[in-house]
Structure 1
Amino acid sequence: MKVGLLNSGAARLGAYWAAFLRELEVEVETAAITDAEALEIGAQSLPGESPVVQLALGRILALGRVDAVLVPQWSAVSGDAWNEAFTELLPRRISGLPTLIAVPDGGDHVEEVATEVGLRLTRNAGVVRRALERARLGLGRVRADAPALSRASRVTVAVIGPRALLDEDVLSGGLRGALESLGLHAVYGPDLPVNETLQRAERMENAAKVPAGERELFGSASLLAGKSAVKGLVFAVPRHDGATRAALTRIAGKMHKPTLLLDVAGGQADFPELEAFRDQVTLRTSTVESEA
């Protein structure tokens, strides 16, 4: 059995699934190409889809001949077909793909799913039990430290968007560089402790009926907007992702600080809208400080 593991800078439990597969003693394959190459391959195959989908597809295609691929499952927003059923939808769009197996990237059911995956791959309950025990330490290594909210001589802005966009350097590296070059201190929603983000999301109206991905985006936006150091919020939308755009538009409308909705394409480095936004939050900060 040859199994591919979809490497992702956004995956919180990537190390856990890698360790689990090793302990199952299956042959593990990872893509031997750069992220930029994977994005280009995916963009050629699905030119009208978001860069998040394109990057994942490019990485899958680069795995070559494998029997199955473990794919991190991202939380969806309302109307988000890709994240609701990525492993079912992609084979309908691209023929000849290996079996895609969605695995959680957090939550309370990781080991339950791991058991099912292990039995599916090995059909050996003893090996699966041993693998679960040995890989368990990886579940406790999720980052929990809060990011710094201020930086000397810089105005702080929050950047809110899907983890699958903001935690992939090939997708968001240009945005990060643009914010830095404008003299802004950016604090990114996915860097917040998950438990604090989800706790804040409980304040959302009818929170129980809102999809998990939208709750997480709202929680990070609300948490950061409530910090005095944060002077404005940039909402980063993967280009061609209408569902995420709609969700972030709804969330931005609930904020009481300056906001900017920004489309982000893979490899994009130029964001002309940011300069005016920088001037807006800087002027607002200077005005408040002078009045004080």
Structure 2
Amino acid sequence: MKVGLLDSRAARLHGYWAAYLKELGVEVVMPSLPDAEALVLGQNTLPGEALPVQLALGRILALDGVDAVILPQWAPVQGDAWSEALGELLSRRISGLPTMIPVPDSSEGLESAAAEVGLRVSQNAGRVRLALERARIQAAGPKAELPALSVASRVTVGVIGPRTLLAEDVLAGPLRTSVSALGLHGVYSPDLPLTEVLKRAERMEKAESAPAGELELFGAASLLSGKGAVRGLIFAVPARDGATGAALERLAARQHKPTLLLTVDAGAQPGIWPELEAFRDRITLGAARQGQDA
């Protein structure tokens, strides 16, 4: 059986699923196109959808002759049907796609889901048990530490947004380049340790019933806004993603530090955001004044 695995930097457990499928003895297929070309393919197929959806679709279309595709689940925000049922919605919109298998992208429920996937693709219970044991070391995902919050001669900003945007170089690369080119030190929410983010998210009103994506966004904003080195927060919204835009707008309105809501689209070139330069001037002036007062 040939199983497709999307080469997504936003997936926390990509290494786990790659190792597990290899131990199962199934043939693993990766997208045959570079990310930039896969994104264009997705844009041409679903031009009106959100940027991360287009990238995911392009990668799926770039899988050659697979029987099924492993789809790590996205952390949803309120009102976002795509993050709750990506594979199901894509199959409804595009005929002829391979079978989509949604899987967890965190340790919660991971092994039971992996066992079901293993039996589905290998039909060999003994091999599944052995593969689970051997892949278990990868189940925690890559270890994350709090990034450096200060860099000499630069003002620090927190950049908050969904992993499906900010962790993907093909989508967020121009933003990262622009932030750096303006002399700012950006600390990006996907780079924060998830345990610390979720601990902060416990402070969110009605946290027990909040969608996972909003918990992550709230926790990241709370963590970074509480750091004295962080002078302002940039909230990055994927183009055509109204649900995430609304969630980030609500979150930005709660902040006490300067904020900027920025829409990120494909094909953006560094330096195209004049509001980013104005934001830099605003927080840099504030930092300079604080230094004079001290």
Structure 1 segment 46-125 matched on structure 2, within 5 A = 46-125=46-125
**Does the 8 Å CA contact 1:165/1:171 hold for their aligned counterparts?**
yes
Give the distance between the partners of 1:107 and 1:213, measured in 2 at CA.
Answer: 16
Superposition deviation, residue 13 in structure 1:
0.6
Q: Number of matched residues?
A: 292
Determine the structure 2 residue equivalent to 1:214. Answer: 214
Residue 149 of structure 1 corresponds to which residue in structure 2? 149
For residues 67 and 280 of structure 2, the distance between their equivalents in structure 1, rounded to whole angstroms, comes to 49
The one-letter code matched in structure 2 to 1:285 is A
What is residue 186 of structure 2 aligned with on the other side?
Answer: 186
Specify which of 272, 276, 290 is matched with residue 274 of structure 1.
276
CA deviation string 1:166-217 (max 9, x = no partner): 0100000000000011000000011111000000000001111110100100
* Cα distance between partner residues in 2 of 1:30 and 1:207: 37
Q: Following the alignment from structure 1 to structure 2, what is the Cα–Cα distance between the partners of residues 187 and 230? A: 9
Structure 1 letter corresponding to 2:140: G
Q: Which runs of 5+ in 2 are unaligned?
A: none
- Whole-angstrom distance in 2 between the partners of 1:247 and 1:33: 32
Contact 1:157–1:187 (Cα < 8 Å) also in 2 = yes
Structure 2 residue 19 is matched with structure 1 residue 22: no
- For residues 57 and 28 of structure 1, the distance between their equivalents in structure 2, rounded to whole angstroms, comes to 18
Deviation at 1:288, TM superposition (A): 1.8
Structure 1, unmatched stretches of 5+, are: none
CA contact (8 A) 2:107 2:139 kept: no
2:231 maps to which residue?
Answer: 231
2-structure distance, mates of 1:74, 1:141: 16
Shift of 1:156: 0.2
Which secondary structure does the structure 1 equivalent of 2:102 belong to? strand
Aligned to 2:42: 42
Cα RMSD after superposing both structures: 0.9
The answer to whether structure 1 residue 172 and structure 2 residue 180 are counterparts is: no
Alpha-carbon distance between aligned partners in 2 of 1:191 and 1:149, rounded to the nearest angstrom:
12
Q: CA deviation at 1:64?
A: 2.1
Deviations 1:39-60, CA, capped at 9 Å, x for gaps: 0000000001111000100000
> Partner of 2:286 in structure 1?
284
- Output the CA distance in 1 between the equivalents of 2:28 and 2:210: 36
Within 2, Cα distance between the matches of 1:279 and 1:144? 31
TM norm structure 1: 0.98
CA-CA distance at 1:144 after TM superposition: 2.1
Identity of aligned residues (%): 63
Cα distance in 2 for partners of 1:65, 1:204 equals 45
**How far apart, in 1, do the equivalents of 2:224 and 2:141 lie?**
24
